[in-house]
C-alpha cells in the first residue's frame, strides 16, 4: 500500500500560493512600494522627485549602487557607458539571421544573451567585482544599440551606429529613426519625455520579470542570460506587453465604431476572456503613482507636439467610463502606468511593437540592481515546492497491451 499522505506531504509544510500573491521571495533595500497608499520610492527617493529632477542614467546609478552619484562618479559612469555603446560586428550577423518582421522583443533578448559568447568571462559571475561591473556597464551601454537594431531589422532598414556625442535617449532615438542620407535632429521634447518614461519604469520590486532575473541569476547563470530571461518574462501582455496591448485594444475599439461602453461590458463579462488592457495592478489597489505622473506628462507632450489622434480620444473616453463603473470601482481597477505610456509612445512616433522594448530599456537598471543584490546577499538557488496531485504509483504497461 502507498501512503498517499506521506507522498503528498513530502517533507515539511508547503504553502500553496499560486502567483506568489502573498509570498515574499527576498528582502530588498532597492525599491519601496506601498500599494494601498500608492507610494513608490527608489532607495528612499520619491518617484515624483526623480521623475521631475533626475535623469535616467542618474537613476540607474542610484538603483545599482545605492546612492545618488557625486559629480565625479556620474561623469565616470556616463563616460564608461558611452565607451561601450558599440557592439561587436559579428552581432550584426546574428541580427541578419532574423527574418525581418521578427518581433523586436525576441530579437532583443537573443542579442542580449549572445553577449555571453562575446564576453565569456561573464559565465562565472562568482568571479571578481571588476568583471561583474564591466558586464553591468556593457549591458547599459549596448541596450539602446540592440533595441534600435531590433527595430531596424523589423522594418528591413540598415542599422545606425551609436553617436556618442548625444545623451542616452537622444542617441537611441537617432539610431532608431535616422535614415541613410537624411538629416535627423532629435526633438528635445521627445528625448526628455522618453528619459522620464524610462525613469518611471526603472524598478518595481519583485514583479514577474525581476523575479525571473533573480531566480535565473540564483543558479549563478551569467548576468546576460539572467537579463535576457527577464526580457522574455516582460514580453507577455499581462506584464510589459500591456502597453502594446493597450494601443491595439484602442485601435480595435476605433475600428469597431468607437463604442467604448460595448468593450467595457465585454471586460465585465465573466464568459468573455477580454480584459481592459492597462487597467488593474497586482499591488496598486488605489492608484498607480507612476500613472499619475505619466498622465500629466502625456497631456504636456501631446500639447507640445500638437498631436491630435482619435485613438487618444477613445482612451480618454474609456478611462472616464471605467472610473465611473461599479465593476471597476469595486475591484479597485484603475489605469496603470502602461495605459498612459502606450499613449505617449504613440504620440512620440514610436511604433507599437517597440513599446515593450522601451519598457525593457527602462527596467534594465532595476533588473541589474536586483541581480546584484541577490548575488551580494548570497541568496540560495530559487526552487519553489509543489503539492503533487497526480497518480500515486502505476505499473508500466507495454504498448502492445494498451489496446
Ligand atoms: N479588466 C477587467 N477585469 C479585470 C481586469 C481588467 N483589466 N483586471 C482585473 N480584473 C478583474 C478580474 O476578472 C477579477 O475579477 P473577479 O474578482 O470578479 O474574479 C478581479 O478584477 C481581480 O483580478 P486578478 O486577475 O485576480 O488580479 P491580479 O492582481 O491577479 O492581476 C493584472 C493583475 C494582471 C494586472 C490584471 O489586472 C490584468 O490582467 N490587467 C490587464 C493587463 C495589464 O494592464 N497589465 C499591466 C500590469 S502593470 C505592469 O506590468 C507594469
Give the per-residue pLDDT at 295. 85
Nearest to 210 by CA among 33, 401, 10: 33
**Whole-number percent of the chain with pLDDT over 70:** 97
What band does 4 get if pLDDT is binned at 50, 70 and 90? very low
Residue 2 has what pLDDT?
47
CA distance 210 to 136: 16
> Which residue minimizes the CA distance to atom 45 of ligand 1?
238
272 lines ligand 1 (CB under 6 A): no
3-class DSSP state of 42: strand
Give the closest residue (by CA) to ligand 1 atom 14.
331
For residue 362 and ligand 1, the question of a CB distance below 6 A is answered with no
Active-site entry in 88, 338, 353, 395: 338
State mean pLDDT over 49-61: 97
Mean pLDDT of 40-68: 98
The Å distance, Cα 269 to ligand 1 centre, comes to: 13
pLDDT of residue 382: 95
Q: Which residue has the cell 542580449?
A: 112
| Closest C-alpha to ligand 1, atom 44 | 278
**Cβ neighbour number for residue 134 with a 10 Å cutoff:** 16
* Distance from C-alpha of 248 to C-alpha of 197, rounded to nearest angstrom: 20
Residue of 146 and 282 predicted with greater confidence:
146
Q: Is 4 in the pocket of ligand 1 (CB under 6 A)?
A: no
Is the pLDDT score of 134 beyond 90?
Answer: yes
Average pLDDT of the residues in 163-183: 95
- Going from the C-alpha of 378 to that of each of 219, 229, 297, 329, 391, the distances in angstroms are 11, 20, 40, 43, 37
Residue 242 CB less than 6 A away from ligand 1: yes
Round to whole Å and give the CA distance between 365 and 371. 10
> What percent of the chain has a predicted confidence (pLDDT) above 90?
77
Instruction: State whether residue 278 is helix, strand or coil.
Output: coil
Q: Is the Cα dihedral 310, 313, 317, 318 positive or negative?
A: positive
Indicate the pLDDT class of residue 3, thresholds 50, 70 and 90. Answer: low
Separation CA 371–CA 373 (nearest Å): 6
**Calpha distance 200→318 (Å, rounded):** 23
Average the pLDDT over 46-71 and give the result: 98
Closest protein CA for atom 49 of ligand 1: 239
Burial environment of residue 142 by CB neighbours within 10 A (0 to 12, 13 to 18, 19 or more): buried
Give the chain's mean pLDDT. 93
**Residue 204 designated active-site:** no
Is 299 part of the annotated catalytic residue set?
A: no
* Per-residue pLDDT band at 296 (split at 50, 70, 90): confident
Q: Contacts by 116-125 with C-beta closer than 8 Å and gap 24+? A: 116/222, 116/224, 116/225, 118/88, 118/90, 118/91, 119/224, 122/222, 122/223, 122/224, 123/222, 124/220, 125/217, 125/220, 125/221, 125/222, 125/223, 125/375
Is the predicted pLDDT of residue 212 greater than 90, yes or no? yes
Q: Write out pLDDT tens, residues 215-256.
A: 999 999 999 999 999 999 999 988 888 888 899 999 999 999
Q: How far apart are CA 243 and CA 359, in angstroms?
A: 9
246 lines ligand 1 (CB under 6 A): no
What is the mean pLDDT of the segment spanning 258-279? 94
Distance from the CA of 146 to the center of ligand 1, in angstroms?
32
Q: Which is higher by pLDDT, 298 or 47?
A: 47
Give the position, in ligand 1's atom list, of the atom nearest the Cα of 240: 50
Model confidence at 326: pLDDT above 70: yes
Q: Say yes or no to pLDDT of 155 above 80.
A: yes
**pTM for the complete prediction?**
0.89
Residue 228's pLDDT is what? 98
Choose the weakest-confidence range: 324-328, 343-347, 366-370.
343-347
Please tell me the distance between residue 104's alpha carbon and the centre of ligand 1 in angstroms.
26
d(CA 281, ligand 1 centre) in Å: 6
Q: What is the 3-state secondary structure (H, E, C) of 359-400?
A: HHHHHHHHHHHHHHHHHHCCCCCCCCCCCCCCCCCCCCCCHH
Q: Is ligand 1 within 6 A of the CB of residue 331?
A: yes
Using alpha carbons only, give the angle 249, 290, 77 rounded to the nearest 5 degrees: 115
Question: Whole-angstrom Cα distance, residue 397 to residue 387?
Answer: 26
Which among 22, 243, 264, 280 is the best mutation to test ligand 1's pocket, defined by most ligand atoms within 8 Å of the CB? 280
The string of pLDDT tens digits covering residues 71-126 is: 999 999 999 999 999 999 999 999 999 999 999 999 999 999 999 999 998 888 88
Amino acid at each position: 500500500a502507498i501512503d498517499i499522505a506521506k507522498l503528498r506531504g513530502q517533507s515539511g509544510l508547503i504553502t500553496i500560493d499560486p502567483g506568489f500573491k502573498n509570498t515574499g521571495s527576498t528582502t530588498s533595500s532597492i525599491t519601496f512600494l506601498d500599494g494601498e497608499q500608492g507610494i513608490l520610492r527608489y532607495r528612499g527617493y520619491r518617484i515624483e522627485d526623480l521623475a521631475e529632477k533626475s535623469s535616467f542614467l542618474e537613476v540607474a546609478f542610484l538603483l545599482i549602487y545605492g546612492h545618488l552619484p557625486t559629480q565625479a562618479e556620474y561623469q565616470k559612469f556616463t563616460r564608461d557607458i558611452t565607451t561601450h555603446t558599440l557592439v561587436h560586428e559579428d552581432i550584426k550577423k546574428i541580427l541578419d539571421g532574423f527574418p525581418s518582421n521578427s518581433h523586436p522583443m525576441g530579437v532583443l533578448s537573443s542579442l542580449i544573451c549572445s553577449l555571453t559568447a562575446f564576453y565569456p568571462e561573464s559565465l562565472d559571475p562568482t568571479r571578481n567585482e571588476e568583471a561583474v561591473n564591466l558586464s553591468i556597464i556593457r549591458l547599459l551601454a549596448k541596450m539602446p544599440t540592440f533595441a534600435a537594431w531590433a527595430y531596424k531589422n523589423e522594418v528591413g532598414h540598415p542599422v545606425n551606429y551609436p553617436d556618442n556625442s548625444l545623451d542616452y535617449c537622444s542617441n537611441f532615438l537617432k539610431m532608431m529613426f535616422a535614415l541613410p542620407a537624411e538629416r535627423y535632429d532629435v526633438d528635445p521634447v521627445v528625448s526628455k519625455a522618453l528619459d522620464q518614461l524610462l525613469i518611471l519604469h526603472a524598478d518595481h520590486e519583485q514583479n514577474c520579470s525581476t523575479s525571473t532575473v533573480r531566480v535565473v541569476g540564483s543558479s549563478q547563470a551569467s548576468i546576460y542570460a539572467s537579463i535576457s530571461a527577464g526580457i522574455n518574462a516582460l514580453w507577455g501582455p499581462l506584464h510589459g506587453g500591456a502597453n502594446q496591448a493597450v494601443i491595439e485594444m484602442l485601435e480595435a475599439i476605433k475600428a469597431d465604431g468607437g463604442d467604448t461602453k460595448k468593450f467595457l461590458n465585454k471586460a465585465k463579462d465573466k464568459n468573455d476572456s477580454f480584459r481592459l488592457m492597462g487597467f488593474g495592478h497586482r499591488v496598486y489597489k488605489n492608484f498607480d503613482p507612476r500613472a499619475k505622473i505619466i498622465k500629466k506628462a502625456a497631456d504636456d507632450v501631446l500639447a507640445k507636439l500638437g498631436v491630435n489622434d482619435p485613438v487618444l480620444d477613445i482612451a480618454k473616453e474609456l478611462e472616464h467610463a471605467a472610473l465611473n463603473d461599479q465593476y471597476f470601482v469595486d475591484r479597485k481597477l484603475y489605469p496603470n502606468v502602461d495605459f498612459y505610456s502606450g499613449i505617449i509612445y504613440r504620440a512620440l512616433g514610436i511604433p507599437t511593437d517597440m513599446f515593450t522594448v522601451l519598457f525593457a530599456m527602462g527596467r534594465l537598471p532595476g533588473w541589474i540592481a536586483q541581480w546584484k543584490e541577490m548575488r551580494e546577499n548570497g541568496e540560495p538557488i530559487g526552487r519553489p515546492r509543489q503539492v503533487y496531485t497526480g497518480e500515486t504509483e502505476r505499473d508500466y504497461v507495454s504498448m502492445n497491451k494498451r489496446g
